[in-house]
Structure 1
Amino acid sequence: MGLLGDIIGKVKDKASIGKAALLSRNHTTAALRLTVLRATSHEADTPPQESHLAAILAAGEGPRTAAAVVIDVLMRRLHKTSSSAVAIKSLLALHVIVRRGNFILHDQLSVYPASGGRNYLKLSDFRDNSSPITWELSTWIRWYAKYLEQILSSSRILGYFLFSTSCSLEREKGKEIIASLLCKDLLREIDGLINILEEICKSPDCVHLEGNKLLLEVMGLVGEDYFTTVDEIVIRVEEFKERLSCLSFVDSVELVCALKRLEDCKERLGALFEVNGSGLVEDLWCLVSEMKDKVGEVKGFKEEKMVLSWGRFESARFGERVKPQDSVQFASNRFAFQFAYGELVR
């Protein structure tokens, strides 16, 4: 079944590419479609050629309509296919656009589709049941789509396309203005960055896909994303280090929660990526540990004193004696906490 699927896929590729090649001689849209077809072929274990990816990126150098066509064709290709090879190559092409595309391509990606302003990358129902290998690969594809969605979501929070080489200037400007951000905004940015690391940690362990060239290509990009994310987090946590003495109690609690989430990622990230004593990564974990201790010392509470949940918090120790209306409610965009009087502050 798998071999038959490969043969059918190659026949489809030849037919589609041949038709697009004929039309492309006199039609720009057909030429762009041909570019996408070549980059997202049915060949199961062959990453897109660099020349094909470069041709997709080149669409951003022309009229805005060309960039819109490329994004639209990629999205349609992604959502109409039942082939795991085509799906993962389409996602890989989108990932390359995020990392290496220019402003015009980013703009078109961020507002696709034009009517909804959202990115429909979540392939929660994707299944390729043509073979046991493609079935397992389908799990990986569903995760990869969610991961790219998270990058786009976090990029909106930061105000620039995270990981993009073309946005290095915005990133440098960001370093200059981080000190002027309100603590709640800084916490929001850290939360968005941690969401990316948490999504990386959810990548499936597909034992039968070891050595798959496509997945190796993808994980190479994800690894680069990882180190950039760590760099972005370190900058912001160091800013909180400067603000430690003037942090409000609720900001301190949210910061500790964020640092705890980071620590929960450490083991899985270490298993996924060979850091070889990377100074940047080691700096992050040292900084996280140091900040947790310092926040506890300055604010007079310890982590074990907190009973946390992502929904509502209520003191377990004083649950019998303290009524809900006697507790203090702190509002937050990401957490909802209730602290009973006298429970956390000595």
Structure 2
Amino acid sequence: MAAGGSTQQSLRRAIGALKDSTKVGLAKVNSGYKALDIAIVKATNHDEVLAKEKHIRTIFGALSSSTPRADVAYCIQALAKRLAKTQNWAVALKTLIVMHRAMREIDSTFREEFINYSQNRALMLNLSHFKDDSGPNAWNYSAWVRVYALYLEEHLECFRLLKYDIQTYHSRTRELDTPDLLEQLPALQQLLFRLLACQPEGAAVYNKLIQYALSILAGECVKLYGAITNGILNLVDKYFEMQKHDAVRALEIYQKAGNQAEKLSEFFEICRGLDFGRVQFVKIEQPPATFMTAMEEYVKDTPCTLAHHPITYPTNDVKVNLKKNAIREDNRVSDQKQDFDVEEILDPSLTSPEPPSSDQIEAAAKLQVTELLDLDELIQEASELDEKNAFEVAIFTSGDIFSLIFSIGVQLLVF
């Protein structure tokens, strides 16, 4: 059986190589875009190794903003055709890698053209029925190719909705107003959901092509979750002033962020075991339950908005007590790191007979946040590391950045 399987695999490789050489020969004779067509075939051939960079650069040259739009459209169509017709996992995966790298390395005009092409025709990244049944490993690789394609499709959808590249403008969510925040955060969380689904299993864990694609995903996870965390910080800052229907949606977003933090732990464990070069991890911590309780109490205590009636917000005492309960719990975790006793500020019985003002609460919370770590510095370090080496991926986790809100200490682990 083993010998028969090896013979069959060798035969498939020979047939694949013959198909590639035939396509190259036809491109030399019949194509008006000879150099481009040859580069596409060679960059996405049946060989189960990474494509040569010179072929990738030829393709990217045809997709740049300085290239006539007709040529860009032809290149996208050629890649789409290559993806749609293949039943080989290596060809499909290498084609997706070319598309993914183009999204990262070419300006936004490519993504716009990509979106227009997909909307005017069938979704080119729809590989829900793709399978390579040439063997157990090929079947396993096919499953990973399908979830990778779903992530890239979601990537384009997120760009279409946000109208900006989250990898470049990851801090923009910190400045969004409430309506945009409630629209964009779910889109970013859905993108993260698709990314986390790309956690490889079985033979896919050890495949070098899949590991290469995964290294790109791991790098993108840094800024993606940075954008989500910036949005969560913004959301929490606005939460206790929201109307009830907005607060309900915000609470759902906050809860989902906590759930995704747990999934990130699993994803990072897989990444840590792979040969990405120097990888940095930050230990994931979960926020205290008291803050979630405070948010849930706020939703309960905030009356629904009725037609023709003014909006009724909770009293300052209610909001102060909700924030006070959450922050007091955090002080128990980080009191050794503080030079002052926040509880004395928050508990009127320890200071004065009059309750503290909202400004005092906000000032104390803000001081806690700024004393821990600067999110932009972490992301900038990750960017510089990524630029230095494609396999040197800096990864920080949900919980620790999430913990900015709660004053949970950060521990940096370097593997």
1:17-70 CA-partner distances (Å, limit 9, x unpaired): 23323456xx3x2322212111101012x1222222222111114222221111
Gaps of 5+ in 1: 302-327, 331-346
Task: Tell me the secondary structure at the aligned position of residue 48 of structure 1.
Answer: coil
Aligned match of 1:88: 93
The question of whether the paired residues in 2 share the 8 Å contact of 1:32 and 1:66 is answered with no
The CA deviation at 1:114 is 6.5
Aligned match of 1:119: 123
The question of whether the paired residues in 2 share the 8 Å contact of 1:20 and 1:34 is answered with yes
1:106 aligns with 2:111: yes
The CA deviation at 1:290 is 7.8
Match of 1:52 among 51, 55, 63: 55
1:220-266 CA-partner distances (Å, limit 9, x unpaired): 11111211111111121121222123111122221121122222222
The question of whether the paired residues in 1 share the 8 Å contact of 2:196 and 2:264 is answered with yes
Greater Rg by CA: 2
The CA deviation at 1:153 is 1.2
Tell me how far apart the structure 2 counterparts of residues 104 and 71 of structure 1 sit (CA, whole Å). Answer: 12
1:21 aligns with 2:28: yes
The CA deviation at 1:113 is 4.2
- With over 3 angstroms needed to count, the CA separation of the structure-2 counterparts of 1:141 and 1:298, relative to structure 1, is same
Task: Tell me the secondary structure at the aligned position of residue 198 of structure 2.
Answer: coil
In structure 2, give the amino acid aligned to 1:7: A
Aligned match of 2:135: 131
Aligned match of 2:148: 144
Task: Tell me the secondary structure at the aligned position of residue 120 of structure 1.
Answer: coil
Higher relative contact order (CA 8 A, sep 6+): 2
Regions of 4+ moved over 6 Å:
none
Match of 1:186 among 159, 181, 184: 181
- With over 3 angstroms needed to count, the CA separation of the structure-2 counterparts of 1:241 and 1:112, relative to structure 1, is same
Tell me how far apart the structure 2 counterparts of residues 199 and 261 of structure 1 sit (CA, whole Å). Answer: 14
1:76-111 CA-partner distances (Å, limit 9, x unpaired): 100011111110111111111111122332221111
Identity of aligned residues (%): 25
The question of whether the paired residues in 1 share the 8 Å contact of 2:86 and 2:92 is answered with yes
The CA deviation at 1:132 is 1.6
Task: Tell me the secondary structure at the aligned position of residue 42 of structure 1.
Answer: coil
The CA deviation at 1:73 is 0.5
Aligned match of 1:263: 258
1:109-160 CA-partner distances (Å, limit 9, x unpaired): 11114634x6331111111111221111111111111111111111112112
Tell me how far apart the structure 2 counterparts of residues 156 and 295 of structure 1 sit (CA, whole Å). Answer: 31
Tell me how far apart the structure 2 counterparts of residues 33 and 291 of structure 1 sit (CA, whole Å). Answer: 57
Tell me how far apart the structure 2 counterparts of residues 79 and 37 of structure 1 sit (CA, whole Å). Answer: 14
Match of 1:234 among 217, 229, 239: 229
Tell me how far apart the structure 2 counterparts of residues 94 and 198 of structure 1 sit (CA, whole Å). Answer: 20
Tell me how far apart the structure 1 counterparts of residues 224 and 174 of structure 2 sit (CA, whole Å). Answer: 16
- With over 3 angstroms needed to count, the CA separation of the structure-2 counterparts of 1:42 and 1:290, relative to structure 1, is farther
1:72 aligns with 2:77: yes
Count of residues paired in the alignment: 289
Tell me how far apart the structure 2 counterparts of residues 107 and 124 of structure 1 sit (CA, whole Å). Answer: 23
Tell me how far apart the structure 1 counterparts of residues 181 and 246 of structure 2 sit (CA, whole Å). Answer: 10
Tell me how far apart the structure 2 counterparts of residues 204 and 244 of structure 1 sit (CA, whole Å). Answer: 33
Gaps of 5+ in 2: 1-7, 273-278, 307-415
The question of whether the paired residues in 1 share the 8 Å contact of 2:174 and 2:233 is answered with no
In structure 1, give the amino acid aligned to 2:100: H
Aligned match of 1:11: 18
- With over 3 angstroms needed to count, the CA separation of the structure-2 counterparts of 1:289 and 1:90, relative to structure 1, is farther
Q: Which stretch of structure 1 is more off in the superposition, 200-209 or 35-44?
A: 200-209
1:198 aligns with 2:205: no
Tell me how far apart the structure 1 counterparts of residues 252 and 197 of structure 2 sit (CA, whole Å). Answer: 19
